[in-house]
Amino acid sequence: MPQSSRWALVIHGGAGQITRAVLAAAQDQGARAGLHAALAAGAALLAAGGTALDAVEAAVRVLEDDSHFNAGRGSAFTHDGGIEMDAAIMDGRDRAAGAVAGITRTRHPVALARRVMDHSPHVLLSGAGADAFSVEQELEQADAGWFETVARRRQLDAMLARGGDGFDVDMKYGTVGAVACDIHGHVAAATSTGGVTGKRWGRIGDSPLIGAGTHADDRAGAVSATGAGEFFIRANVAHEIGARARMLGESMLEAGAAAIAEVGAMGGSGGVILVGADGTGGWRFNTPGMYRGMVSAGAPAVVAIFGDE
Ligand code: ASP
């Protein structure tokens, strides 16, 4: 198998109205530490010749356990005060994919998405069935108390007090995702989220939808999105970026900029992380901030939050 010394890992922890004026120092520092920990977990695998697929799962698992982000522990609350998580993973080698939506008990939703990909004939499982599959696969289960945090409960309470109806574009998001390119020249993507605060009626966002919030294809690159999911679904952002790269010859970053401009033109906001099969990576977003980080062979890890960093 041809190998190169080039590997790269790009991660995000959500995009939104994240400015110095609104971000508390503790959240800033905690989120940066979490991003560094996730980069370190994925980079250790990639530097040792591991696969992009394993690296994105490892990075996302770290962020799922970190309550600074809206995935796994620290997930956003539904309108009813519950937790319903979505996740997806995709392998650029053969475009194998797995995803789950509306799950409630799995400590690492991305691990369940991976099981759907590796151990079921399906791509997307939802709700009670997905929860049952998780138990069957003997993945680690957690009580509601593991996922729930005081800060997220406050966000729901504030939204309900305002009479909000499940979709507040000013709220700070916190979905997590990772894209990677390994030394074998393969790419992968993973995304995990608690969705949007106050969601109801079984609402599912873009994160677990292959082609909307998550996509990987060795012929172009890998994408994980974050933002107002309804727009990313309608614009089919993650697939669109790869398609532009393949068919128009744009770089992944150029294609990402075009897709985010499209989301903006539709009235949506958010961002994407990207990596090409050549190992070039980065991000594009149209929000004031996005929790993000990147590390690659021979380059130190970089973490940023605000748009001007
Ligand atoms: N895109 C996610 C969703 O709509 C939310 C986010 O990225 O913060 O569920």
pLDDT > 90 fraction of the chain, expressed in percent and rounded: 91
**168: pLDDT strictly greater than 60:** no
Q: Widest CA span of the chain, in angstroms? A: 58
Determine the pLDDT at residue 162: 84
Q: Which one is predicted more confidently, 228 or 4? A: 228
CA distance 271 to 247: 22
Supply 168's token pair. Answer: 């507040």
In the reported structure, the alpha carbon of residue 176 is separated from the centroid of ligand 1 by a whole-number distance in angstroms of 9
Which residue CA neighbors atom 8 of ligand 1 most closely?
Answer: 173
Which residue CA neighbors atom 4 of ligand 1 most closely?
Answer: 229
Instruction: Give bridge partners of residue 292 from the DSSP assignment.
Output: 12, 304
Determine the pLDDT at residue 4: 62
**77: pLDDT strictly greater than 90:** yes
The predicted-structure confidence for 201-251, as pLDDT tens digits, reads as follows 999 999 999 999 999 999 999 999 999 999 999 999 999 999 999 999 999
Determine the pLDDT at residue 174: 87
- Would you tell me how many other CB atoms lie within 10 Å of the CB of residue 4? 13
Q: At 66, phi and psi to the nearest 5?
A: -100, 120
Determine the pLDDT at residue 164: 60
Instruction: Report DSSP letters for 39-94, one per residue.
Output: HHHHHHHHHTT--HHHHHHHHHHHHHT-TTSSSSTTPPPBTTS---EEEEEEETTT
**Does any ligand 1 atom lie closer than 6 A to the CB of residue 75?**
no
In the reported structure, the alpha carbon of residue 228 is separated from the centroid of ligand 1 by a whole-number distance in angstroms of 6
* Residue of 17, 78, 84, 193 to test ligand 1 pocket, by largest number of atoms within 8 Å of CB: 193
Supply 43's token pair. Answer: 């980079």
In the reported structure, the alpha carbon of residue 204 is separated from the centroid of ligand 1 by a whole-number distance in angstroms of 9
CA distance 56 to 42: 6
Whether pTM > 0.75 for this model: the answer is yes
Among 56-60, 166-170, 174-178, which is the least confidently predicted range?
166-170
Determine the pLDDT at residue 167: 59
**Does any ligand 1 atom lie closer than 6 A to the CB of residue 14?**
yes
**Does any ligand 1 atom lie closer than 6 A to the CB of residue 192?**
no
Stretch 10-24: mean pLDDT = 93
**Does any ligand 1 atom lie closer than 6 A to the CB of residue 84?**
no
**3: pLDDT strictly greater than 90:** no
* Residue of 77, 171, 192, 196 to test ligand 1 pocket, by largest number of atoms within 8 Å of CB: 196
Enumerate the H helices of 120-270 as residue ranges. Answer: 127-136, 144-147, 150-161, 229-234, 237-248, 252-266
Q: Which one is predicted more confidently, 163 or 10? A: 10
**Does any ligand 1 atom lie closer than 6 A to the CB of residue 291?**
no
Stretch 123-147: mean pLDDT = 98
Cβ pair 15, 285 in contact under 8 A: yes
Q: Which residues are known to be catalytic?
A: 175
For the chain, the domains span: 4-205+290-306
Helix/strand/coil for 174: coil
Stretch 88-100: mean pLDDT = 98
